[in-house]
Amino acid sequence: MLPNKNTHRTSIPVELQDMKRSELGEKFAELHRQLQETKKSMLVIVDGWEASGKGFLLKDLTRELDPKHYEVAAFDESTLEDEQHPYLRRFFMRSPKRGQIVFFDRSFYYDLFHQLDMEEKTLNHILDDISFVEEALAHDDTIVVKFFIHHSKDEMADRIETLKEDPYRKVLVTKQDKDQLKNYKAYRKHFTEILEKTNFEETPWHILHVDDQKDQSRMALKTCIDCLEDWLSRDLTRPQLDLDFIGNSPDIVGQVDHSPIISKKDYDDIKEDLQEQAANLLFRAYQENKGVIVAYEGSDAAGKGGNYQRLTRLMDPRGYDVATVAAPNDEELNHHYLWRFYRDFPSLGRMTIFDRTWYGRVLVERIENLTPVYRWQEAYEEINQMEHNITDQDYLLLKYLIIIDKDTQYDRFMGREKDPDKQYKITDEDWRNRDKFDIYNTAMNEMVAATSTKEAPWKVISGVDKRHARITVLKDFIKRMEAFLDD
């Protein structure tokens, strides 16, 4: 994919040579202003060889833009802090808001490009991550434009020598510059392989190998202009998907056995021992630097909150967090729907419990028509890929779906209304949702059918008897944690 060593730098078209970079920048800025009036966004990735002029290009790309509506995020090698979180987190957190352009100086490609000896498993994992994030952003109306700046070995040597001779810029010459120059052939082969594997149809690479840096900027600006102009003109709505599980999933929720009951005596006899085991296992996860994510979904008034309160009863509160998921605020709505969950995922050695989750995309957002049909349909695969990526990074993901029947829900709603200490738990929205009880059950059935995977299976539990549900979760937590930590 990269030009061979005998390929001369290309000349840009004559009509482009005659254009001032500022003129192109102003055209880009005009399109940027149009972008701000839409729900679309743009991510520009600038990568390439060390000492290839990425900084020069970024200056020209941004010079005419309104600084209030663009950001530049610079990424280097992952720090120890970065490595304590899911790989994509630091990139997802800097992804563009609606109406915004974000420039990545390097990106999620950094580790991939700069490690010649990366293990194949790690390589494939990062490739999966990158494929997922680029497709997810594109599906969320973000255009991703990727530049790779190429230069020959002789050009790189000259560039490094020029930097060394500049008293103010010689600090820019790093070990990586010298290593790439020394091992140019190996890096060139490695870059070519990575570029070919990540030259996706929706997010292709643009290789910059032109006569000089100013022309390089002209070419990149013209590419950004053409891509953004096309993106703004497009109707990005997509047809509905033909998903075989929609309308054709087994009635797992409707067939939950609600008969199991645990007496108060039996509950009290076993509860504390199980809670102590759970607490010890969380501490062991801390010692072994493993992360734990617990996701709760289910019927309204099924007892999710009381369930995880019993799960964490004897745990050290410094080792876990609870993320209560409500309707997204304006900042969250301006990002991809998974953005706020990446923000709240725990670092390794910790646990986060989610009271409601990313599955709201295929439950409440679907049922209340809060997102287009094609977007919630695409979410099943996006969620599966996200969970796959996370569980491949020393995280255990436990998903509990706690179900009650309609009569039990009615009794609990009425009980909350009559009890002054519990009235805060019942809202008009709860009663409105109750009218859609069967619709929600159908959506949950389809959710389980589409997203109960080997790495992250759903545990469907009856919540009619709260003591039974609490003991079931405690036992499952212990069983899954032991298997995870002993693996």
The pLDDT of residue 76 is 82
| β strands within 301-457, DSSP E | 320-324, 351-355, 395-403
Tell me the two tokens of residue 59: 């200056």
- Token pair 């028509």 is found at 369
Determine the Cα–Cα distance for residues 101 and 144; give it in Å rounded to an integer. Answer: 10
Torsion of CA 78, 81, 85, 88, to 10 degrees: -30
Distance (Å, rounded) from C-alpha 232 to C-alpha 222? 15
pLDDT range class, residue 8, cuts 50, 70, 90: low
- Nearest one of 448, 464, 465 to 456, comparing CA atoms: 448
Mean pLDDT, rounded, for 83-96:
94
The Cα–Cα gap between 65 and 70 comes to: 7
pLDDT value at 94 more than 70: yes
pLDDT at 421: 86
pLDDT of residue 297: 98
pLDDT tens sequence across 441-467:
999 999 999 999 999 999 999 999 999
Residue located via tokens 């790189």: 156
Nearest to 478 by CA among 394, 392, 395, 398: 398
User: Which ranges constitute the DSSP H helices of 198-212?
Assistant: none
Q: Is 345 left (phi over 0), alpha (psi -120 to 50) or beta?
A: beta
How many helical (H) and strand (E) elements, i.e. helices and strands, does the chain have?
A: 20, 10
Give the CATH superfamily of 264-486: P-loop containing nucleotide triphosphate hydrolases (3.40.50.300)
User: What's the fold here for domain 14-233?
Assistant: Rossmann fold (3.40.50)
* Domain residue ranges in the chain: 14-233, 264-486
Q: In what order do the strands lie in the sheet with 458-462?
A: 320-324, 351-355, 291-298, 395-403, 458-462
Looking at residue 196, what is its pLDDT?
95
Tell me the pLDDT tens digit for each residue of 254-309.
Answer: 999 999 999 999 999 999 999 999 999 999 999 999 999 999 999 999 999 999 99
Structure tokens at 40: 């679309």
Summarised one tens digit per residue, pLDDT across range 203-258 is: 999 999 987 899 999 999 999 999 999 999 999 999 999 999 999 999 999 999 99
pLDDT for res 409: 94
* Angle in degrees, 0-180, between the axes of helices 213-233 and 54-62, rounded to the nearest 10: 50
What value does the mean pLDDT of the chain take?
94
Q: How far is CA 8 from the centre of its chain?
A: 40
Q: What is the mean pLDDT of residues 27-40?
A: 97
**Interatomic CA distance for residues 31 and 29, integer angstroms:** 5
Domains 14-233 and 264-486 alike in fold:
yes
Confidence band for 5, pLDDT divided at 50, 70 and 90: low
Global pTM? 0.93
- % the chain with pLDDT above 90: 83
**pLDDT of 113 higher than 70:** yes
Strand, helix or coil at 72?
Answer: strand
Instruction: Answer yes or no: is pLDDT of 314 > 70.
Output: yes
Q: Which residue has the tokens 């200490």?
A: 421
The four Cα atoms 125, 129, 131, 133 give a dihedral, to 10 degrees, of: 180
CA distance 299 to 258: 13
Has residue 14 got a pLDDT over 90?
no
Q: Please give the pLDDT value at position 422.
A: 87
pLDDT reported for residue 6: 61
The reported pLDDT for the residue numbered 7 is 64
Q: What is the pLDDT of residues 386-433, one digit of tens each?
A: 999 999 999 999 999 999 999 999 999 999 999 888 888 888 888 888
